[in-house]
Amino acid sequence: MEEKYLIINAGSSSLKFSLYEMPSAKEIVNGYIQKIGEGDSFYELKYDGKKDVKEKNIKNHSEAVQTMLDELIENKFIKNIGEIKGVGHRVLHGGEFYSKSTLIDEEVLNNIKSLTKLGPLHHPGEIAGIEGMMEVLKDVPQVAVFDTAFHQTMPKENYLYAVPYSWYKENGVRKYGFHGTSHNYITDKMKKHFGRDDINIIVCHIGSGASIVCIKDGICYDTTMGLTPLDGLVMGTRSGSIDPSIIEYIAKERNMTVEEITNALNKESGLIGLAGKNDYRDLSKAREDGDDMAKLALKIFYNSVTKYIAEYYFKLDGKVDALVFTAGIGENAYVFRKKVMERISNPMHIKLDEEANKAIPAKVREGKISTDDSAFEVLVVPTNEEYMILTDTYNVTKGK
Ligand code: ADP
């Protein structure tokens, strides 16, 4: 029998929601409440190819949840709130507490609150979303799906930084990794693709935010993002790894606070910092139009992706089953894939199938882009984080 599940993605002033039927995973409606607590809030509902936009002064997340539920009932997507069997919440940081999605009780909520210092931009909104939901849907099981959980299998030698050990023991300074739901989704798909669990793959989730994971024997062995999503690859607006001394140097040189610098490293660096554009399409267009900085920024970006693929190739001792590209750029930009492949093909004994690469997504959405005589498969696989959150929520709440 089909049952209804809600998936929530709450920000500091927004609430995204989708209502699904399970086990068919059919989406019934989705919506987005914006500017919560800002006086001019509004929301939209999307269903059956239609879009309704409404204005309403929504003061807090609890009111946002109530508004959403009223709309779901009014539009007959549900008869009453009792029809909702479970709610899944996307949560940025599970710290070392959680290696999988978890039913939320008071202890879990307190642990999520204690991790706000590691996710200061995301956690306050996510907590408000959970509390708003729990207030209104008291008896409905709520599940936290953490972006970090998938990476908890990393061995110590891969998650520790070479800094004073007390920073780890007393302050939790270590690599946590992010984009876990996406990497988990792709890894599950690849296990089905190869028909076994002990796969060695390298997954490149390359969107505006970007990270690569090294999957060894079917579990996460290493990843590029660190204590926060700032580490690793050059991204749309994030610097990725840099010399940490830059922070003190710039603080003195430009009379900036650590917070201001961290903000600049998160929002004004990466591709936008170098070339003034963070969108890959805009940057590619600028490059075609002869913009030298766009050309240089893209080169630095491709090199950064190449560097981590190479590291993980070595960490897997060259025994790779597949290299997978996913997310906005990975799935859609064939030139990006070509540029990365140009840099790794010879040492890794793989060859790009130019036709197959160009066909994604122009003709098909996914597929193999390496030639049959390549040492391993190179694939494009669309990610689906929402599906992962939904199935986790369903599995955790089943029978509750
Ligand atoms: P995030 O989820 O981190 O915001 P996405 O996964 O949505 O990011 O990816 C956004 C990036 O994907 C942008 O840089 C955008 O330019 C790029 N992108 C999306 N569609 C295309 C396309 N058709 N061709 C090239 N790049 C694309």
User: How far is the centre of ligand 1, averaged over its atoms, from the C-alpha of 296 (Å)?
Assistant: 19
Q: Is the pLDDT of residue 168 over 90?
A: yes
Q: How far is the CA of 330 from the centre of ligand 1 (A)?
A: 8
Q: Do the domain assignments include residue 169?
A: no
Same domain for 141 and 223? no
What pLDDT does 177 receive? 98
How large is the angle between the packed helices 334-348 and 292-315, nearest 10 degrees?
40
Active-site residue, from 40, 52, 70, 147: 147
Answer with the one of 107, 123, 146 that is the final residue of a domain: 146
Ramachandran angles phi, psi of 42, nearest 5°: -150, 165
- Does residue 261 belong to any structural domain of this protein? yes
| Residue 326 CA to ligand 1 centre (angstroms) | 10
Cα angle vertex 153, ends 150, 157, to 5°?
130
Q: pLDDT by residue (tens digit) across 44-98?
A: 999 999 999 999 999 999 999 999 999 999 999 999 999 999 999 999 999 999 9
Q: What is the pLDDT of residue 398?
A: 85
Q: Quick one: which atom of ligand 1 is closest to the CA of 210?
A: 3
The verdict on residue 345 lying in a domain is yes
**Which band of pLDDT confidence, cut at 50, 70 and 90, is reported for residue 306?**
very high
Q: Atom 22 (ligand 1): residue with closest C-alpha? A: 332
The C-alpha atoms of residue 283 and residue 334 are separated, in whole angstroms, by: 14
Residue 384 Cβ < 6 Å to ligand 1: no
234 and 299, same domain (yes or no): yes
Three-state SS string over the chain comes to CCEEEEEEEECCCCEEEEEEEECCCEEEEEEEEECCCCCCCEEEEEECCEEEEEECCCCCHHHHHHHHHHHHHHCCCCCCHHHEEEEEEEECCCCCCCCCCEECCHHHHHHHHHCCCCCCCCHHHHHHHHHHHHHHCCCCCEEEEECCHHHHHCCHHHHCCCCCHHHHHHHCCCCCCCCHHHHHHHHHHHHHHHCCCCCCEEEEEECCCEEEEEEECCEEEEECCCCCCCCCCCCCCCCCCCCCHHHHHHHHHCCCCHHHHHHHHHHCCHHHHHHCCCCHHHHHHHHHCCCHHHHHHHHHHHHHHHHHHHHHHHHCCCCCCEEEEEHHHHHHCHHHHHHHHHHHHHHHCCCECHHHHHHHHHCCCCEECECCCCCCEEEECCCCHHHHHHHHHHHHHCCC
- Where does residue 175 rank: exposed (0-12), middle (13-18), buried (19+ CB within 10 A)? buried
Inside any domain, residue 177: no
Residue 314 belongs to a domain with what CATH number?
A: 3.30.420.40
299 lines ligand 1 (CB under 6 A): no
The neighbouring-strand residues paired with 34 are 42
pLDDT of residue 121: 87
Say whether both 105 and 232 belong to one domain: no
Residue 205 CA: which ligand 1 atom is closest?
6
pLDDT at residue 399 above 80? no
Per-residue burial over 352-378, b = 16 or more CB atoms within 10 Å of its CB, e = otherwise = bbeebbebbeeeeebebbbeeebebbb
**Nearby residues of 117 by Cβ (< 8 Å), 6 or more positions away:** none
Q: In terms of DSSP bridges, do strands 84-91 and 142-146 run parallel, antiparallel, or are they unpaired?
A: parallel
280-288 vs 292-315: helix crossing angle, rounded to 10: 130
72 torsion bin: left (phi>0), alpha (psi -120 to 50), beta (else):
alpha
Structural domain includes residue 268: yes
Tell how far the Cα of 207 is from the centroid of ligand 1, in angstroms.
Answer: 5
Q: State which of 203, 277, 301, 332 you would mutate to test the pocket of ligand 1, scoring each by most atoms of that ligand within 8 A of its C-beta.
A: 332
| Residue among 64, 80, 60 nearest 72 (CA) | 80
181 pLDDT above the threshold of 90: yes
CB 324 within 8 A of CB 379: yes
Judgement on whether residues 255 and 315 belong to the same structural domain of the protein: yes
Q: Which pLDDT score, from 0 to 100, does residue 281 have?
A: 97
Is residue 197 among the annotated active site residues? no
Ligand 1 atom nearest residue 361's Cα: 23
Rounded distance between C-alpha atoms, residue 132 and residue 126, angstroms = 10
Instruction: Verify that 306 and 244 share a domain, yes or no.
Output: yes
Domain count, the chain: 2
In this prediction, residue 131 carries a pLDDT of 96
Structure tokens at 292: 């030298």
Q: Given 105, 120, 146, which residue is the final one in a domain?
A: 146
Domain hosting residue 344, numbered range: 197-385
pLDDT in tens, 333-349: 999 999 999 999 999 99
Return the number of other C-beta atoms located less than 10 Å from residue 317's C-beta.
9
Express as a percent the part of the chain with pLDDT over 90: 98
Contact 130, 92 (CB under 8 A): no
Q: Is residue 239 domain-resident?
A: yes
* Residue 332, ligand 1, Cβ within 6 A: yes
For residue 336, the model assigns a pLDDT of 98
Residue 253 in any domain: the answer is yes
Q: Atom 21 (ligand 1): residue with closest C-alpha? A: 332
Beta 201-206 vs 322-326: how paired, if at all? parallel
Residue 210 shares a structural domain with residue 279: yes
Ligand 1 close to Cβ of residue 281 (< 6 A): yes
| Residue of 92, 179, 281 to test ligand 1 pocket, by largest number of atoms within 8 Å of CB | 281
CA of 259 to the centre of ligand 1 (A): 28
Is the domain of 212 the same as that of 359? yes
User: Structure tokens of 246?
Assistant: 């830059």
What's the 281 CA to ligand 1 centre distance in angstroms? 8
- Does residue 228 share a domain with residue 307? yes
* Ligand 1 contact via 270 beta carbon (within 6 Å): no
315 and 235, same domain (yes or no): yes
280 Cβ closer than 6 Å to some ligand 1 atom: yes
Query: What pLDDT does 305 receive?
Result: 99
Asked if residue 1 has pLDDT above 90, the reply is no
Cβ-in-10-Å burial (0-12, 13-18, 19+) of 25 comes to: middle
Domain identity same for 238 and 93 = no
Taking only the tens place, the pLDDT of each residue in 185-233 is 999 999 999 999 999 999 999 999 999 999 999 999 999 999 999 999 9
What is the share, in percent, of the chain residues with pLDDT greater than 70? 100
Orientation angle between helical segments 258-267 and 245-253, nearest 10 degrees = 110
Average model confidence (pLDDT) across the chain = 97
Quote the pTM value: 0.95
Q: How far is the CA of 48 from the centre of ligand 1 (A)?
A: 25
Residues 219 and 319 in one domain: yes
User: Ligand 1 center to residue 11 CA distance, Å?
Assistant: 21
> Could you tell which of 224, 233, 238, 280 is best to mutate to test the pocket of ligand 1, judged by most ligand atoms within 8 Å of the CB?
280
Angstrom distance (rounded) from CA 219 to CA 180: 12
Q: Residue 229: CB within 6 Å of ligand 1?
A: no
Q: Would 185 be classed as within a structural domain? A: no
pLDDT band (50, 70, 90) for residue 400:
confident
CB distance 42 to 82 below 8 Å: no
Task: Judge if the beta carbon of residue 209 lies within 6 A of ligand 1.
Answer: yes
Which of 131, 146, 161 lies at the terminal end of a domain, its last residue?
146
Q: How many Cα atoms sit within 13 Å of 328 on the Cβ side?
A: 11
Same domain? 65 vs 205:
no
